[in-house]
């Protein structure tokens, strides 16, 4: 089932949308809620250890960049063959920036074409295939550090770029955060079963359409929260498209042994179409 909410509003509260530079905004995700969820046994049990992978990047390489107030940040960079102002930021799930995400980032670039892709490392070089370790990494992620990493990468990219984002689970939430941080440069956000932002003040800084991929059997993302999230976005005049699949949480994660190939394939096609339209790729 696909839902698209589009509400063109003329109400005065829309003037609350402010800010045009990356550094002016603070839009960390909900640290207490994310931490508590990461430590829950049922959440850990829903994320089986990734199957082994033997992947050698074809075009991408790791880069580093300055981050204000801390150590340099890292990202897996796949530059476009031709000069372009189109950018896709990719956000990993709780395992970290592993080879699955690097492979997925290269697949996304091949699918999109002329776009610079950066898979962001939110864990500062750490990744794991152990659910207990992943739980500690996710619960220990300082939202301020994550936000600073994104700001540092956006600064490195520059201001004259179209910024799109995509992420899974924890990365789905950070995909939305990055879209807020990108401000007027943001053109589209894809969230795979990310935790919906509940803070209306943060949502009001959004400047882009959102595609939300949802597993209808998800035990961790509440339907009522997704619906409220979509209505708040559409009330700002931006398009919120929700696609439901008869699947569990993490069904499309490329590292999940219970990967739902059919649903993930359809979701990817929707995501590619959404991103191409927002980035202006024919």
For 224-274, write each residue's pLDDT tens digit.
Answer: 999 999 999 999 999 999 999 999 999 998 778 888 999 999 999 999 999
DSSP codes of every residue in 202-222: HHTT--SEEEEEEETT-SSS-
pLDDT value at residue 144: 96
Q: What is the token pair recorded at 242?
A: 């929700």
Mean pLDDT of the residues in the chain:
89
Say which residue the tokens 């569990």 belong to: 248
Torsion of CA 78, 82, 85, 88, to 10 degrees: -30
Is residue 152 predicted with pLDDT exceeding 90? yes
Q: Are 38 and 139 in contact (CB under 8 A)?
A: yes
User: For residues 36 and 25, which has the higher predicted lDDT (pLDDT)?
Assistant: 36
Q: For residue 273, what is the enclosing H or E element? A: helix 261-279
Closest to 209 measured CA to CA, from 242, 249, 171: 242
Q: Indicate the pLDDT class of residue 29, thresholds 50, 70 and 90.
A: very low
pLDDT value at residue 256: 83
Give residue limits of the domains in the chain. Answer: 2-279
Is residue 68 predicted with pLDDT exceeding 90? yes
Hey, which residues does 4 pair with through a beta bridge?
Answer: 241
Is residue 7 predicted with pLDDT exceeding 50? no
**Half-sphere exposure at residue 59, Cβ-oriented, CA atoms within 13 angstroms:** 15
pTM score: 0.90
Beta strands in 133-260 (DSSP E): 162-168, 186-192, 209-215, 240-245
Q: Indicate the pLDDT class of residue 3, thresholds 50, 70 and 90.
A: low
pLDDT value at residue 96: 97
State the CATH class of domain 2-279.
Answer: alpha beta
Q: Residue-wise over 99-113: b if at least 16 C-beta within 10 A, else e?
A: bbbbbbbbebbebbe
């Amino acid at each position: 089932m696909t839902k698209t909410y589009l509400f063109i509003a003329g109400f005065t509260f829309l003037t609350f949308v402010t800010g045009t530079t990356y550094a002016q905004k603070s839009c960390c995700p909900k640290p207490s809620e994310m931490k508590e969820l990461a430590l829950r046994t049922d959440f850990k049990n829903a994320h089986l250890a990734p199957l082994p992978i033997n992947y050698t990047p074809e075009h991408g390489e790791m880069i580093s960049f300055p981050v204000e107030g801390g150590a340099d940040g890292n990202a897996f960079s796949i530059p476009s063959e031709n000069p372009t102002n189109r950018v896709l930021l990719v956000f990993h799930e709780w395992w970290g920036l592993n080879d699955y995400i690097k492979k997925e980032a290269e697949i996304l670039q091949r699918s999109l074409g002329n776009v610079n892709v950066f898979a962001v490392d939110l864990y500062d070089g750490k990744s794991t295939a152990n659910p207990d370790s992943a739980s500690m990494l996710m619960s220990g992620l300082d939202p301020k550090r994550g936000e600073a990493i994104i700001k540092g990468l956006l600064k490195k990219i520059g201001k004259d770029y179209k910024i799109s984002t995509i992420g899974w689970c924890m990365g789905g939430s950070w995909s939305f955060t990055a879209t807020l941080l990108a401000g007027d440069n943001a053109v589209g956000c894809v969230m795979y079963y990310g935790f919906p932002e509940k803070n209306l003040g943060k949502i009001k800084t959004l400047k882009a359409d959102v595609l939300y991929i949802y597993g209808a059997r998800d035990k961790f993302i509440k339907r009522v929260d997704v619906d409220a999230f979509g209505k708040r976005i559409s009330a700002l005049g931006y398009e919120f498209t929700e696609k439901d699949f008869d699947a569990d949480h993490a069904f499309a994660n490329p590292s999940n042994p219970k990967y739902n190939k059919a649903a993930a394939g359809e979701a990817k096609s929707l995501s590619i179409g959404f991103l191409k339209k927002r980035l202006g790729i024919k």
